[in-house]
Amino acid sequence: MQITVKLFALMREKAGTDTVPLEVPAGAAVTQALATLVCQYPMLEPYMANTRFSVRMDFVDPNTILAEGDELVLIPPVSGGA
């Protein structure tokens, strides 16, 4: 199935794109999608340990099962405010 990975901030710059279409097996979890992503974009690997994940605008567990068309958003440590 097809999903989309969205990247922000430093990871967006390292990958050179903010959107990565990804083909993953049906019923794949976030962790499987990340493994596929890192194969294609190995420069992202060092940041994964500190990254949180979001699907449908909520933080999700890495074991969350993805659905066709999902947008998996990588959320590096946030630094908003002042």
* Binding residues vs other proteins (CB under 8 A): 6, 8-10, 13, 47, 50, 54, 57-58, 73, 75-82
**Whose Cβ is closer to other proteins: residue 50's or residue 63's?**
50
Beta bridge partners of 22: 3
**Whose Cβ is closer to other proteins: residue 29's or residue 47's?**
47
For the bound state, the minimum distance from the C-beta of residue 25 to other proteins, rounded and expressed in Å, comes to 26
* Nearest alpha-carbon partner for 64 in 25, 22, 23, 33: 33
For the chain, strand residue ranges (E) read: 2-6, 19-23, 52-55, 58-60, 71-75
**Whose Cβ is closer to other proteins: residue 26's or residue 49's?**
49
For the bound state, the minimum distance from the C-beta of residue 64 to other proteins, rounded and expressed in Å, comes to 15
Rounded to whole angstroms, how far apart are CA atoms 78 and 51? 10
